[in-house]
DNA sequence: GGCATAGATGTTATAGTATATCAATTCAAT
DNA sequence: ATTGAATTGATATACTATAACATCTATGCC
């Protein structure tokens, strides 16, 4: 008996970390930027693409390396500027606990995404759970706080990793 | 009609950032460490004290400077080790969005504190709002995620700062 | 066309945050 | 005394991020 259900993609196993969705992600970004008259320049485009293709968050300097592998003579500010832009547009997020960046896997759903970070496989599940958003709104309201940005992160062990762990545990227990 | 109420210190204006509570904080830490056979060494003690005396989070290198002002020949690892210890013991928190550290203002209440960070006065309000904890538990449970650590942070404008802002706004509007 | 403007990027340098590694010390328990 | 565990000292370095200023590019206006 769950009081709360996650909003939409609840039945599908979890498209959260699905690199093959990169094309859709790019198409969405194109549209967003066109709507807003925001310039979706080659660097920005490429940085987003790299993040979409990855199944886990990437550090700024790792992105930098890949840009350079493309032949661009990029410097740190290049990457950080692109990231800043993408984050402003809601197309990417910074994972504070990792100092790393990930493409938004919930395009469209604005506000307060939260991240479950597996410390074992380093994958990150992005969710937008209404219960949390509501509770945070209430908490902020109670003290008259006006929220501008959020960082909601859980670090721990994801399902598939804890499955693997118990397997290994069972073996070594014999 | 609030479905949720914050737990305890709801009526008091907010003891969150009250440096004068440092003695109690220290006493609590002493007790905790004694109970757990954890060594509350001079460095650890001093670092906690510095955080308790501050009404806002402090960076590791600022702590380092103050240790040195005390005459200690400390190095970065000294501070980071002390912080690691204090965080493990639940006596301090890292504010991820600021890369800064704060003494726990909710000693006793374990689990999932969340922080409201004022980007104007840089003060931080630590709260433990049951609704949020419950919602996070539920969200994690839904995907079989086992939570070990959390970072729940809201950045925005606190009550007193938004009051000041509207004053100023009213003046300059004339 | 010439020019101003705004936005984006290039470039260099540096600031800020955190950890690895190994040596020395302390202190309690055997 | 000796061992071992925990802590701290000390040196070096890695990692993350931004400041500051120059250049480029596209657009709009005269």
CB of B14 closer than 8 Å to CB of A143: yes
Alpha carbon separation from B2 to A24, A116, A137, B126 (Å, rounded) = 40, 28, 12, 20
Instruction: Work out the mean pLDDT of chain B and round it to a whole number.
Output: 86
For the stretch B110-130, pLDDT in tens is 678 999 999 999 999 999 888
Mean pLDDT of the B23-44 span: 92
Instruction: Work out the mean pLDDT of chain A and round it to a whole number.
Output: 86
Given this model, what pLDDT does residue A160 score?
93
Which residue, among B15, B96, B127, would best test binding to A if mutated, counting the most A CBs under 10 Å from its CB? B96
Could you tell me the pLDDT band of residue B171, with boundaries at 50, 70 and 90? low
Could you tell me the pLDDT band of residue B4, with boundaries at 50, 70 and 90? very low
How far does A113 lie from chain B, in Å, by closest CA? 11
Q: If you count residue pairs, one on A and one on B, with CB atoms under 8 Å apart, how many are there?
A: 154
Percent of chain B whose pLDDT exceeds 70: 83
Given this model, what pLDDT does residue B124 score?
96
Q: What is the rounded CA–CA span in Å between residue B92 and residue B103? A: 4
Measured between CA atoms, the residue of chain B closest to residue A161 is B145
Mean pLDDT of the B36-46 span: 95
Mean pLDDT of the B126-152 span: 92
The residue ranking higher by pLDDT, A107 or A113, is: A113
For the stretch A6-41, pLDDT in tens is 333 333 444 445 666 777 889 999 999 998 989 999
Helices assigned H by DSSP within B37-158: 42-53, 60-69, 76-88, 130-142
CB of B156 closer than 8 Å to CB of B117: yes
The residue ranking higher by pLDDT, A124 or B112, is: A124
Given this model, what pLDDT does residue A107 score?
76
For the stretch A138-154, pLDDT in tens is 999 999 999 999 999 99
Contact B4 A96 (CB under 8 A): no
Question: Over 60: is that where the pLDDT of B17 sits?
Answer: no
> What single DSSP character describes residue A82?
H
The nucleotide closest to A45 (CA, C1' atoms): C8
């Amino acid at each position: 008996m769950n009081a709360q259900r996650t909003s939409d993609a609840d039945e599908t196993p979890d498209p959260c970390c699905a690199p093959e969705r990169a094309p859709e992600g790019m198409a969405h970004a194109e549209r967003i930027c066109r709507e807003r008259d925001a310039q979706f320049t080659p660097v920005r485009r490429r940085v987003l693409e790299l993040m979409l293709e990855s199944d886990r968050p990437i550090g700024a300097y790792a992105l930098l390396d890949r840009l350079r592998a493309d032949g661009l003579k990029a410097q740190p500010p290049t990457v950080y500027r692109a990231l800043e832009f993408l984050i402003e547009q809601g197309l990417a997020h910074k994972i504070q606990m990792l100092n790393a960046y990930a493409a938004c896997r919930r395009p469209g759903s604005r506000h307060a995404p939260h991240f479950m970070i597996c410390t074992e496989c380093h994958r990150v599940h992005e969710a937008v759970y209404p219960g949390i958003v509501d509770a945070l709104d209430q908490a902020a309201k109670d003290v008259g706080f006006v929220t501008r940005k959020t960082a909601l992160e859980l670090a721990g062990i994801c399902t598939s990793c804890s499955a693997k762990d118990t397997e290994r545990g069972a073996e070594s227990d014999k």
